[in-house]
Amino acid sequence: MKMSTVVRSTTKMISPFLVTYAAYIMLYGHLSPGGGFQGGVILAVAVILLITSHGYKKVRKRFKFNWASLIESSAGAMLVLLGIAGIAFGAFYSNFLPTEGGVIVPFNVIVGLEVGAAFTFVFYILLRWVESD
């Protein structure tokens, strides 16, 4: 089903703001409500909005299925590495960074990428299943 021009144009305008808002929530999650999970969900919503308004085949050319899988798995590996790096400083996920928020900021960004890629990955899988029907 093809969406109207209004829906497609609005989605194209809103999606960059959603990505920016997701980045803001991930980066300032240690100072205000929000964090990696919430930012990741908003990040996935931006991609899912584009898929539903422009169609799976058109969006799939820009946001490849394999990229979502690669980002999701590499973010999981980075979470483990961040925790192991903390062991060198005394404890698992030890706060070893001398910056404001310490290790929480990279943790939130990595969780945001993990969650955003995972939700996008699940949506791709559901669409493949629907297409095969």
10 Å Cβ neighbour count for 21? 17
pTM: 0.85
Helices (H), 55-103: 56-62, 65-87
Q: Point out the residues of the chain with pLDDT beneath 70.
A: 1, 133
Give burial (CB, 10 Å; 0-12/13-18/19+) of 45: buried
Enter the DSSP assignment of 4: P
| Nearest CA-CA partner of 130 in 23, 50, 56, 32 | 56
* Structure-block tokens of residue 54: 């422009």
pLDDT at 59: 79
pLDDT at 125: 87
Looking at residue 14, its amino acid is I
